[in-house]
Amino acid sequence: MGVRCHALAVPSFWGLLSGLLALLCVYYVGWIIHTLCFHPLSGYPGPRLAAITPLVHLMWDIQGKQHSTMKRLHDQYGDVVRIAPNALVYRAAPAWKDIYGHRKKGQKVFVKDPALYAPTPNGVNAIITANEDNHSRMRRLLTHAFSNKALREQEEILQMYANMFMEKLKGLMGSAASQTIDITCWFNFTTFDLIGDLAFGEPFGCLSNSTYHWWVRIILDAVKASAYLKVFWYYPFLVPLVRVLVPKHLLQKRQASFNLSVEKVRRRLALGATRPDFTSYILKHSKDGKGMSPEEMDANSAVFVLAGSETTAALLSGVTYYLLRYRDKYTRLVREIRGAFDKDTDIKLSTLGDLPYLNAVLTEAMRIYPPIPSMLPRIVPEGGAMINEQYVPGKVSVSISLYSAFRAASHFKNPEAFVPERWLNESDEYINDKKEAFQPYSYGPRNCLGQQ
């Protein structure tokens, strides 16, 4: 009696592929059900599509609509919204202290969400990415560079670039009365030259050349590109593809810009503590091995320039827009300034604080047109924490939407209107505004050093 042997059937390529796709579909359906129904954040309100994939949040960022989308979602869902599978965004005033505030002894800090912060090319942490100990050390050094004393010593440098800015505008207006001037560009030229001088000891030449220096262009382009690069944090298995997906010339430009920063830092260090800029104060107070290493100064240099320039230019653009739109506010401001000074050379930093309406205009501009309108996410420490009187589990990304908080009707009366008077306490009309919700420089131990 013969025995027949049957060869095992070998699945075809398409059969294997179909099986793999079927498994992936089953897995993803299970993931969706878990995320929407059983995830620790499943009880929080928010758009369902955003709850199952971070790509929705990423697209808001790429489209430049993150700030306006957050406001719309808060208006729809309330003070806390789930904007990604593992992320919540708040607008309630108490959340500032809960997320960003100082910790009591023994309490764990909310560390920065690494999705927002890319490492520097030399691998050294700048102040915005440093751990708590290194951040405290760097901040102590930099506090001297942003003190009132430092500002008075830097006033001559500030005045020089302000004068250059005004002379350039006068020249443009005189050359062609009908010419349209992009004032935002000129604000950027001025602030990048000024902060470049204070950070590196030399300007970028934007004002003198009436155009962006290539280093500045790369920095501004890098800010836009960073939105796309967040996909590698959400999907780390794609990281090996960076050098394939990102054009080689962009990687080369990034390295070239960092190399120029290093060259500028080295030239400035060679001068020592000879002029009242940032480096001078760092060198003067670098004692007992607690100063900044040259590599740390390299990493921080671009941070100083970007943090102090583009944000300031954005604020000035917003101020200009709203003053031209609200002519009565413009008229009152002009009257205050011209009533306080006989000529422009009389304007000093020491006297600007005595102009209440000017300061109210700047404050209101930061409220309605914040230079950083988006979010500064933190990670809830293990063990969880109470935020806005509600428990949030550990390892969740949490943040406050500045744009939403500053324009919330629950915080400010007439939130969409430009009303500098709300900060002057001239009447009871705005007495119930929740000004504690307004934190344009962030809050706590990592708030902005430049708020002076």
Three-point CA angle 353, 140, 125, nearest 5°: 115
Residue 6's pLDDT is: 56
Nearest alpha carbon to residue 276 among 164, 160, 189 = 160
Residue 308's pLDDT is: 87
Cα R_g (the chain), whole angstroms: 26
- The answer to the question of residue 376 being in a domain is no
Residue 232's pLDDT is: 74
| CATH number of the domain to which 176 belongs | 1.10.630.10
Residue 373's pLDDT is: 83
Nearest alpha carbon to residue 198 among 158, 152, 165 = 158
**Site of tokens 């504690």:** 436
Q: How far is CA 48 from CA 54, 65, 66, 285, 399, in A?
A: 11, 18, 17, 52, 19
Nearest alpha carbon to residue 361 among 300, 318, 407 = 318
DSSP-based three-state secondary structure for 42: coil
Residue 94's pLDDT is: 96
DSSP-based three-state secondary structure for 82: strand
**Site of tokens 């002076």:** 452
Long-range contacts of 413-418 (CB under 8 A, 24+ apart): 415/368, 416/368, 418/322, 418/325, 418/326, 418/329, 418/364, 418/365, 418/368
8 A C-beta contact, residue 376 and residue 398 = no
The domain of 158 spans 118-309
DSSP state letters, 101-170: SPPPTTPPP-EEPTTS-PPPTTS---TTT--HHHHHHHHHHHHHHTSHHHHHHHHHHHHHHHHHHHHHHH
Beta bridge partners of 111: 379
DSSP-based three-state secondary structure for 387: strand
- The answer to the question of residue 255 being in a domain is yes
What residues contact 8, with CB distance under 8 A and at least 6 apart? none
What residues contact 351, with CB distance under 8 A and at least 6 apart? 340, 341
Structure tokens at 29: 């359906």
Is residue 448 annotated as involved in ligand binding?
yes
- Dist. CA 283–CA 285, nearest whole Å: 6
Per-residue tens of pLDDT for the chain, all 452 residues: 555 655 555 567 676 777 778 877 887 788 788 888 989 999 999 999 999 999 898 899 888 899 999 999 999 999 999 999 999 999 999 999 999 999 888 788 999 887 777 667 788 888 888 888 888 999 988 888 888 888 889 999 999 999 999 999 988 887 766 678 899 999 999 999 999 999 999 999 999 999 999 999 988 887 777 777 777 777 777 777 766 766 677 777 778 888 888 899 999 988 888 888 888 888 888 776 678 888 888 888 888 888 889 999 999 999 999 999 999 999 999 999 999 999 888 899 889 989 999 999 999 999 999 998 888 899 999 999 999 999 999 999 999 999 999 999 999 999 999 999 999 988 899 999 999 999 999 999 999 887 76
Residue 353's pLDDT is: 86
8 A C-beta contact, residue 309 and residue 194 = yes
Residue 384's pLDDT is: 94
How crowded is residue 113: how many other Cβ atoms within 10 Å of its Cβ? 18
Residue 302's pLDDT is: 81
- Dist. CA 57–CA 66, nearest whole Å: 8
Output the furthest CA–CA distance in the chain (Å, rounded). 120
| Structural domain count, the chain | 1
- List helix spans (H) across 285-341: 294-325, 327-340
Q: Report pTM.
A: 0.90
8 A C-beta contact, residue 124 and residue 264 = no
> Which amino acid, one-letter code, is at 85?
P
- Enclosing H/E stretch for 28: helix 13-33
**Site of tokens 């290194």:** 134
